[in-house]
Chains A and B, each alone.
Chain A
Amino acid sequence: MSSEIDRTGTPLVEMRNMRKAFGGIHAVDNVTIDLYPGEVVGVLGHNGAGKSVLMKMLSGALPRDSGEIYVNGEKAEINNPRDARNYQIETIYQYLALADNLDAAANLFLGRELTTPLGFVDDAKMEAETRKIMGRLTPNFRRFNTPVAGLSGGQRQSVAISRAVYFNAKILIMDEPTAALGVEETRMVAELIDELKKRGIGILLIDHDIHQVKALCDRASVMKNGKLVGTVEVDKVSEDDLLGMIILGKKPEMAA
């Protein structure tokens, strides 16, 4: 998979020397990673390795202590989720960021509602758009008018993914997108990731499952105790190599 990626040009995203500390603990300590168009980069590590914090700095959910973010080679100021959205960075959170009491359409457009010329929210239009986009991703979905609290994990996930797709994400952060899903739903997410890759979208994928990473990712950046162990092309290392990086913080010698 990785051989197709052209890494000679400007990266889609580059995070340089990112740091974040909580009290005296360095949650993220001088980490640099990059992501190219059409590439899936796995961000791996134990719980508490700092993967989620690193991603949250990119999505604007957490302010960074220091470090620089470049989008398409230009320095980006990302201080809150709205800034990130303006750079077409969309995030699918581990604990799905949906308002349980609202329906699928209201969630999909949350913060970016379609409005009528008079400035009122256009629920009918939003529902129609939601039917279109969700019809592509999950053709069987019918429950457009019930609060998303009543939906299954997979249906909720598809609302979150539809949101990213609808708003033309260029950079997609997925925080364990399949953690809450069954086998069939996981397969659908995998297919979706492939489709998004083909469109030139760059994906940062946080995951625990080594098989999944081997199957889905082009490269993997491994973190331990807030530091970057290394970034490797997944096809050139074994699962044991990856586990060694995660558990021991040991970079394999053959890594690119």
Chain B
Amino acid sequence: MRQLWRDFREGFIDQTPPFFAAMGLCPALAVTSAVVYGFSMGMAVLAVLLGSNIVVSLIRRWVPAEVRIPVYTVIIATLVTVVDLVLAGTVPAIHRTLGLFIPLIVVNCIILGRAEAFASKHGVTRSIADAFGYALGYTWALLLISAVREILGSGTILGLRVMPAGFVAWKIMLTPPGAFLAMGTIVSVINVIRNRSRSRSAAVKRAQPDTAVPEVA
């Protein structure tokens, strides 16, 4: 159980894409103009990643190492086709807005990266925990970016007005430059927080000097 939590935590907190691992950047910029799109993209990635981690983990003993990448790619492309058709059938409006970026999950490095780095080496249960960790980590990242862009760009969140009536919406937040600027600012703020907590833990260490290894004069 503790092992499963550790697998989940790695993607959810320690290596959250796209903030702490440079993966899945394109959709994070392209489909985050409103919270509902960011959330849908996160769920689409969850469905594909879960499926691909399970299948790759199940067949890991029978796939020869030389052809594993093409095999994984075909598995992922098949799953993406399924997700694409399901979305087109159930939520056509969202499917149209996400557009190109649903099929582009095929080349999203998170999916292939986890198949190669984790699912091909571990059992099904741990691979499921890993898929949930990375996909939900990616989802919270997308939710954060899209919340910032929707609140500033439209004054709403999930379509409900949250900003006071006098607030003039920053239209630029909904355009491509706004995506880059919002993302750049969020990454900088996260870095500030991280650096601060790191220097604090370093200060604690200085206050209680480690005497196990005596200093050599």
* Binding between chains A and B: no
Please list the residues of chain A having a beta carbon within 8 angstroms of any beta carbon in chain B: none
